Amino acid sequence: MTIQRIRPSKRLAGAVIHGNIAYLSGQVSEAPSGKNIGAQTASVLSRIDSLLAEADTDKTKILSATIWLSDMADFAGMNEVWEQWITTETSPARATVEAKLANPEFKVEIQVIAALD
């Protein structure tokens, strides 16, 4: 079976495809400075949409999502944007935890695993 890497760099790939599964790296907001949790979540989900499209799949095929928040006080604000983005019929298995993120300006990081067919 082949392995395809999307947007590879020395440190990581934006996504790795193996078999019929796309594994996305954790995505954070572009230019997070001054953005609230809603704006950062929207930015992250847009980046996920872009990577999924490059992998020839979409958010309706997400199997699993892991969400890291720098502050659980942002849980409701993140969920407000998430629930506008995903549908009940296609909602994935999901976990959300609080964690110290790589940059103190990041409020949210999301990693997903998606099917290709």
DSSP strand pairing (62-69 vs 93-98): parallel
d(CA 107, CA 103): 9
As given in the structure block, the two tokens for residue 27 are 């995505």
Q: How confident is the model at residue 51 (pLDDT cuts 50, 70, 90)?
A: very high
- Burial label, 108 (beta-carbon count in 10 A; 0-12, 13-18, 19+): buried
The model's pLDDT over 83-112, given as tens digits with 9 standing for 90+, comes to: 999 999 999 999 999 999 999 999 999 999
List, in order of start, the domains of the chain with CATH numbers. 26-115 (3.30.1330.40)
Q: How confident is the model at residue 1 (pLDDT cuts 50, 70, 90)?
A: confident
The pLDDT value recorded for residue 56 is: 97
The pLDDT value recorded for residue 35 is: 94
Mean pLDDT of 41-61: 98
pTM of this prediction?
A: 0.96
- H or E element, residue 9: none
